[in-house]
Amino acid sequence: MGFDRSLHDTSPTVPSRRPWLAAALSALLPGSGQWYAGRRRAGVVLMSVAAVVGVTSVWLLVVDPVRAVKLAFDTEVLVGLFVANIAVFGLRVWAAVDAYRSVGGSAGSRWVGGVVIAVVGAVLVVPHAWFGYYDVIQYDLITDVFAPPETTTATTSSTTTSGATSTVTASGASTTTTTTTAPTTTTTTIPPKVWDGIERLNVLLLGGDSGVGRTGVRTDTMILASIDPETRDLALFSIPRNFARVPLPDDVDIWACDCFPLILNELYQYGEAHPDSFSGPSTPGANAIKGAVGELLGLDVHFFALVALQGFVDIVDALGGVTITVTERVYDEAYPKEDGGTEVIDFRPGVYEMDGHDALAYARSRRGSDDYNRMGRQRCVIEAVVDQADPIDLLTGFPRIAEVLKESLETDIPLDAVPDLIDLAAGVDTDEAISVRLVPPTYVAGRTADGYPFPAIDLIREHAHIATTLPPDEAMALLGIDPLADECE
């Protein structure tokens, strides 16, 4: 790599300066070794370049971390960072070797030079290899999990006018041409906000159980998150897994009741088994469950995200566990483990440091309670995991987390919408979220012959409308509910 030799000062080499130290300094901070060697001008130039890179990185991570996270979901940025990482590595290697030679280090001092090269290599290769590895993992993750980017075409009009002209005939009469206007169309690619044109962005969060002894995926956890893009107000609707006769969209004409006659957690796998009946932008199972939940609440469901329960266990473990406040005893003498066996669990009131297995058991068990108490525990566990996620744990556990997400996360959120969603989520105060649990007796209109509850649809839609149109304080007062934070303490 050629460097302008005019940057080399003419100061004579000072023998007392150590070549290995000059190399080490420039390996850590390009230019500092040149400065140490007496080449002030070269040192300033190289350190200025390093300072620009360093200050920009620190500014993103410390001052504007949301922007940093958004950039991590941009494939072009990730490719650019990979190339830049190689370039910076090359610059540091060159700077270290140049500084070593500037203080008298030579190829003749073989063993000294070998040690210096080994040390410089260890210092430089490891962090750049680590950065490149994480960059590749992130690129692989986001392109594997998220839906392909969407392209929106906007049409703009411009006017082309032909002016009026006159001609005179031999008889003296004149004729005039009319003015004509012709629109021209320019097609441009515009990245709209994912919530443009809608009042609420609604994302269905699903927890799928497909473990030993299960056929297909059963969505035992169903929570609709509804966010106002303007105010960032959040409403959460927890939907019981055992709701029967949940209404379906008009275009699904399978049953006379215009509903799904079985319990709701079986609809996803039914949709997967009957793809022709549930067309739409997502997989058949997702189309089915999104349509049903939307009809139940009277809301459009825009996206979904499904996480396998085993994936939840692995993510919590990768994050170093989670602290849970247990308010009511949860006892189950035959809790079904992930491997198909059973065990006794007993969580008495108190504060627990839980690993992934325990957190899932606490959130999942319904023996001695019911589906509705379990729904409350699930929301509290999810809130705790999100609130307690430590940046250091996220960083150190990222390779494992990425692998788990690739295996256990399914979503129809387009990749190019993720940065907007990150911006939106950053402004949401989950502690003040409206949390509506569709539990009996309030939200149940009756029971099937098998004893399963079916929903009071009109009341559910009315309360969903209140929760998504009124300010949170007014909505909670009218519905008689507390903020999510108060329910989990």
Residues 330 and 365 in one domain: yes
Q: Pick the residue with more confidence: 426 or 412?
A: 412
Residues 404 and 434 in one domain: yes
Residues 163 and 78 in one domain: no
Residues 106 and 130 in one domain: yes
How far, in Å, CA of 486 to CA of 81, rounded?
43
User: Is pLDDT of 5 > 60?
Assistant: no
Angle 75-102/40-58 helices, nearest 10 degrees?
150
User: How many C-beta atoms lie closer than 10 Å to residue 29's C-beta?
Assistant: 17
Residues 101 and 172 in one domain: no
Residues 179 and 299 in one domain: no
Name which of 346, 374, 350 is nearest 358 in CA terms. 346
CATH at residue 319? 3.40.630.190
| pLDDT for position 376 | 82
Decide if 304 is inside a domain. Answer: yes
Select from 145, 163, 180 the last residue of a domain. 145
Decide if 194 is inside a domain. Answer: no
Q: Cβ distance 26 to 98 under 8 Å? A: yes
Residues 72 and 135 in one domain: yes
| pLDDT for position 444 | 96
Residues 452 and 339 in one domain: yes
CA distances from 34 to 1, 41, 89, 112, 284 (A): 16, 8, 17, 19, 63
Residue type, 90: G
Q: How many domains would you assign to the chain?
A: 3
User: Is pLDDT of 291 > 60?
Assistant: yes
Residues 130 and 255 in one domain: no
Name which of 32, 20, 37 is nearest 115 in CA terms. 20
Confidence tier at 478 by pLDDT (50, 70, 90): very high
Residues 255 and 363 in one domain: yes
DSSP string, 308-358: EHHHHHHHHHHTT-EEEEE-S-EEEEEEE-TTS-EEEEEE-SEEEEE-HHH
Residues 449 and 475 in one domain: yes
Decide if 195 is inside a domain. Answer: no
Residues 59 and 139 in one domain: yes
Alpha-helical regions (H) of 3-64: 19-28, 32-36, 40-58
Residue type, 37: A
| pLDDT for position 180 | 45
How far, in Å, CA of 59 to CA of 65, rounded?
8
Select from 137, 166, 189 the last residue of a domain. 189
Confidence tier at 343 by pLDDT (50, 70, 90): very high
Decide if 418 is inside a domain. Answer: yes
Name which of 483, 408, 487, 421 is nearest 203 in CA terms. 421
Within 13 Å of residue 246, how many CA atoms lie on the same side as its CB?
Answer: 28
Out of 6-15, 32-41, 94-103, pick the least confident: 6-15
User: Is pLDDT of 164 > 50?
Assistant: no
Range of the domain at 159: 154-189
How far, in Å, CA of 202 to CA of 413, rounded?
11
